[in-house]
Amino acid sequence: MTVGPRMEAPAEVYKHMFALERWEQASALPEDLRLLVKLRVSQLNGCAFCVDMHAHHAKAEGETDERLFSLVTWEETPFFTERERAALRLAEEGTRLTTGRVSDDTWDEAKKHFTDEELGALVVTIATINAWNRYGVILEKVPGSLRKANASA
């Protein structure tokens, strides 16, 4: 297996995906929570490009090493709030749709911690990062390549 990009998605697709990203950033969902969700979903989907990007972004935004290192085992650690746990649980169930659907318990728990506006933004974030992960995995995007390109620009 070679590690390297196979190709780029069509520019028109990126234009629409980035429009979703801009909407998310302007939404009621806090950036730190969006980044945790994006990182966890990317871990689940095995998207090395997105894991690298979102881990570095979260770190730059002030996320602690302890929480970043523990995200893969968030259920077994004391480092995440109940609100974050509700978001991560929804993100995991919304990503692992082949094992079933999002349970009523998970949805009800999320509804306890988020306004309807925040919950809508959380669902969009989960759906969008799942789409980005598909591009990253299928096209074999190289971890760190975006960071390196931005550093040299």
Pick the CATH number of 11-139 from 3.40.50.720, 3.90.700.10, 1.10.540.10, 1.20.1290.10: 1.20.1290.10
Task: Write down the pLDDT at residue 79.
Answer: 97
Whole-angstrom distance, CA of residue 53 vs CA of residue 39: 8
Amino acid identity at 66: E
**Cβ proximity of 68 and 55 under 8 Å:** yes
Band (pLDDT 50/70/90 cuts) for residue 153 is low
**Residue extents of the structural domains in the chain:** 11-139
* 8-26 average pLDDT score: 85
* 8 or 125: which leads in pLDDT: 125
pLDDT of res. 1: 53
Q: Is 19 exposed, middle or buried (0-12, 13-18, 19+ CB in 10 A)?
A: exposed
CA dihedral 119, 121, 126, 131 (to 10 degrees): 150
pLDDT tens digits along 31-43: 999 999 999 999 9
Euclidean distance between CA atoms 89 and 117, whole angstroms = 18
